[in-house]
Structure 1
Amino acid sequence: MKRLNWGMIGGGEGSQIGPAHRMGAQADGNFVLAAGALDHDASKGKDYAQRLGIAGDRAYGNWKEMLEGEKGREDRVDLVTVATPNATHFEITKAFLENGFNVLCEKPMTMTVEEGEEIVAIAKSTGNVCAVNYCYSAYPMVREMRNMVTRGDIGKVRVIVANFSHGHHGDAGDADNPRVRWRYDPTMAGVSGQFADCGIHALHLASFVAGSDVKTVSADFASTIASRVLEDDAMVNFRLEAGAVGRLWTSSVAIGRQHGFEIQVFGETGGLKWWAEQPNQVYYTPLGGRTQIMEKGEAELSEEASRLSRVAIAHPEGFPMAVANIYVDLAAAIQGQPHGAFPTAIDGLRSMSAVHQCVASAKGGGTWVDARPASLR
């Protein structure tokens, strides 16, 4: 594959997610950071971009300048990553797609279902790649789990239990910290707090591993810190189209938990477990047999898991390399080459529909509702 030009919007100096994208995109030599509008403060963004090696004429003050500057270039960027605050994702993603760019958008892709439907339609009509960064689906051993389920190693999936809970927002005295406050502010985060922030990662992963979309949901939301408008704890029951039952807990006030993302899949003839804090391993228990620990880098893993493993067995590969695996698949897709499954605009649309329907369910006392957008029912 040839090296592709890559541009980034957001993810400036001090950003939580920016470094993971920069390490991930460039880890395999598929992309070079050629352009960027990295900060809402134009001067800071331009300065930081140039310190990262971006040429001065491609260090832009804002995304609109970047769009105008790039769309007429022969060496325009092949992929644009949108890593800005949630409320801006739709406008930016739409503008770049309409102008012929491929886009990787941070989640959530949009703030409303209607916006999600529009992005899906634009991506379809233009033929451009539009991906969403549900990067946990790109860990090698998560891909191995998906392969095992698809292959029938655990039989038909019966139950999925997912958990994405941490305690980093558990201090009520920290409620006015701007890095925390926006996540529970409807004007910036949308209709949901913790579920839209972390829970949809777990919901997407459940669908991804099982190979079946979420059909219905029943939710209970709680704001355990009184100053918060949006929820900081949520329990969501769900059912997949293929019939499996799902249970999902997500929380930001679970003091003592650090990352807390794990998923267990229970089938007719076996069970699987993966934990983000120990991502190199999958626990596999066949019916009537002993639990086995499968390691990243082992012989006899699937091609999908093996091709995304970069270092030898027992050497850890973490979050930035999972992001890198998204970029590996995107580089191949952009160039029309074989690639693994990466989250698309349709996944972003399904997630946003699930968020809104979970909010409706929680307000209705946990009533069961259809989680799917109208266009996909």
Structure 2
Amino acid sequence: MAKLKWGMIGGGEGSQIGPAHQLSARLDGLFDFCAGALDHRPDYGVDYGQRLGLGDRAYGGWQEMLQGEKKRDDRIDLVTVATPNSTHFEITKAFLEGGFNVLCEKPMTMTVEEGEHIVSIAKKTGNICAVNYGYTGYSLVRHMKAMIARGDIGKIRLVNTEFAHGHHADAADADNPRVRWRYDPALAGVSAQFADCGIHALHMASFVTGQNVTKLSADTVSCIDIRTLEDDAMVNFRMDGGAVGRLWTSSIAIGRQHGLAIQVFGETGGLRWSQEQPNQLYYMPLGERLQVIERGEANLSPEADRTTRVTIGHAEGMPLAFANIYADLAEAISARKEGRAIDPAANLYPKAEDGLRSMAAVHAVAASGKADGEWLDARPKSMR
């Protein structure tokens, strides 16, 4: 596989997510970091990019980067959009229409209509549009998906998933700019905690079960009462394969750190996994003893083997999970260039359709929360 060229928009010096993308994209030697518009302040972005070795491909803004890369014979093969939520649609749309493959941070858009538009553009142009639900890159999450698909726990009855932390629990910190924007409708949209973290848990439920959410009922609350948007939500949902779902997400759960976890219960067994202990998948066959599946052990699925780099007993963390998404995308881009089929074990990266479904669910949660938990259709109109 020939080495590909990668660029990033946002993720500047001091950002939370930028360093993770830099590490993840280059981890396997599949991408070279060639171009970037890394800060909304042009001078800062250019300076940081040049210090990272981007030279004249350190751009002052994303529009400049788009025009500059379109003119090059050695243009980037993939651009990551790691900017504030309210800018995702505009930038993703422009680069897709400009002929580039895009990995967009979640949420992909602010509205369902924007999501429908992105899906339409990706189909029309044939360019890849992926969404960074990066936790689906964990090896044992993929093995969990494979076990469910092959029927190891029978027909799925119940999914219980959560993403709860306590890092926004201090009311005295509510005016901190790094916190405040998340609860500002002008910047975050119709939802705060569910759009930020809950959609990771909801997407995880769909990813591992192979089922999509059809309807939901939500109880949302702002426990810090000066916030306009919710900092805690409980969501019940139903899936198109018959599974029942329960989801809790919170940013005021003091004592919780990361808090992404999922349990799936079928007719003949159960599975559970937690992002804070990602090397173990717990499997309970009906009427038998609990089994602990270790990442890196023998006889796992091809999906798990492909996404394991470190020998058993050593920790693999979030950047390596993100790196698996980049490895999937490298395989998808290379397969298209070479006119061959993608490796099925790599065709697991979250796509624009996943971003659209998530945005429809975000709006359904917000509306249901305001309507005292009314059950609402969680699907975008194009998928009903």
TM-score (norm 1): 0.99
Aligned ranges for residues 308-347 of structure 1 at < 5 Å? 308-336=307-335, 337-338=342-343, 339-347=346-354
Q: Does 1:355 align with 2:372?
A: no
Q: Distance in 1 between matches of 2:333 and 2:322?
A: 17
Q: Distance in 2 between matches of 1:77 and 1:309?
A: 27
User: Contact 1:202–1:248 at 8 Å: present in 2 too?
Assistant: yes
Corresponding residue SS for 1:77: coil
Aligned ranges for residues 163-312 of structure 1 at < 5 Å? 163-312=162-311
Aligned ranges for residues 25-174 of structure 1 at < 5 Å? 25-55=25-55, 57-174=56-173
Q: Distance in 1 between matches of 2:128 and 2:279?
A: 29
User: Contact 1:272–1:284 at 8 Å: present in 2 too?
Assistant: yes
Q: Distance in 1 between matches of 2:121 and 2:93?
A: 7
Corresponding residue SS for 1:280: strand
| Aligned-pair CA distance for 1:227 | 1.2
Q: Distance in 2 between matches of 1:20 and 1:365?
A: 39
* 2:229 maps to amino acid: L
User: Contact 1:304–1:340 at 8 Å: present in 2 too?
Assistant: no
* 1:278 maps to amino acid: Q
Corresponding residue SS for 1:335: helix
CA displacement 1:29-87 (0-9 Å, x = unmatched): 000100000001111111111111112x1000000000010001000000000000000
CA displacement 1:115-147 (0-9 Å, x = unmatched): 000000000000000000001111000000000
Q: Distance in 2 between matches of 1:214 and 1:72?
A: 42
* 2:51 maps to amino acid: R
Q: Distance in 2 between matches of 1:347 and 1:255?
A: 30
Q: Distance in 1 between matches of 2:225 and 2:380?
A: 32
| Aligned-pair CA distance for 1:340 | 3.0
Q: Distance in 1 between matches of 2:176 and 2:367?
A: 28
Task: Extract unaligned runs of 5+ from structure 2.
Answer: 336-341
Q: Distance in 2 between matches of 1:340 and 1:66?
A: 29
Corresponding residue SS for 2:262: strand
Q: Distance in 1 between matches of 2:66 and 2:9?
A: 10
Q: Distance in 2 between matches of 1:331 and 1:15?
A: 25
Q: Distance in 2 between matches of 1:214 and 1:281?
A: 27
The range that moved more, 329-338 or 202-211, is 329-338
User: Contact 1:12–1:18 at 8 Å: present in 2 too?
Assistant: yes
The range that moved more, 211-220 or 329-338, is 329-338
User: Contact 1:12–1:45 at 8 Å: present in 2 too?
Assistant: yes
Q: Distance in 2 between matches of 1:239 and 1:18?
A: 35
Q: Distance in 1 between matches of 2:305 and 2:279?
A: 12
CA displacement 1:138-180 (0-9 Å, x = unmatched): 1000000000000000000000000100000000000010000
Q: Distance in 1 between matches of 2:250 and 2:90?
A: 29
Q: Does 1:8 align with 2:44?
A: no
Corresponding residue SS for 2:169: coil
User: Contact 1:160–1:244 at 8 Å: present in 2 too?
Assistant: yes
Q: Distance in 2 between matches of 1:58 and 1:167?
A: 39
- Percent identity over paired residues: 69
CA displacement 1:209-261 (0-9 Å, x = unmatched): 00010111000100010111000000000010001000000000000000111
CA displacement 1:318-364 (0-9 Å, x = unmatched): 00000000000000001113223110000000000000011111111
Q: Distance in 1 between matches of 2:380 and 2:63?
A: 30
Corresponding residue SS for 1:60: coil
Corresponding residue SS for 1:314: coil
Q: Distance in 1 between matches of 2:146 and 2:347?
A: 11
Corresponding residue SS for 2:220: strand
Task: Extract unaligned runs of 5+ from structure 1.
Answer: none
Residue 364 of structure 1 is aligned with which of 344, 348, 371?
A: 371
Corresponding residue SS for 1:231: coil
Q: Distance in 2 between matches of 1:20 and 1:305?
A: 21
User: Contact 1:102–1:129 at 8 Å: present in 2 too?
Assistant: yes
Once superposed, what is the RMSD of the aligned Cα atoms?
0.6
| Aligned-pair CA distance for 1:291 | 0.7
* 2:50 maps to amino acid: Q
CA displacement 1:244-291 (0-9 Å, x = unmatched): 000000000000000111000000000000000000110000000111
| Aligned-pair CA distance for 1:371 | 0.3
CA displacement 1:273-318 (0-9 Å, x = unmatched): 0000000110000000111110000000001101110010011110
* 2:109 maps to amino acid: T
* 2:117 maps to amino acid: E
* 1:182 maps to amino acid: W
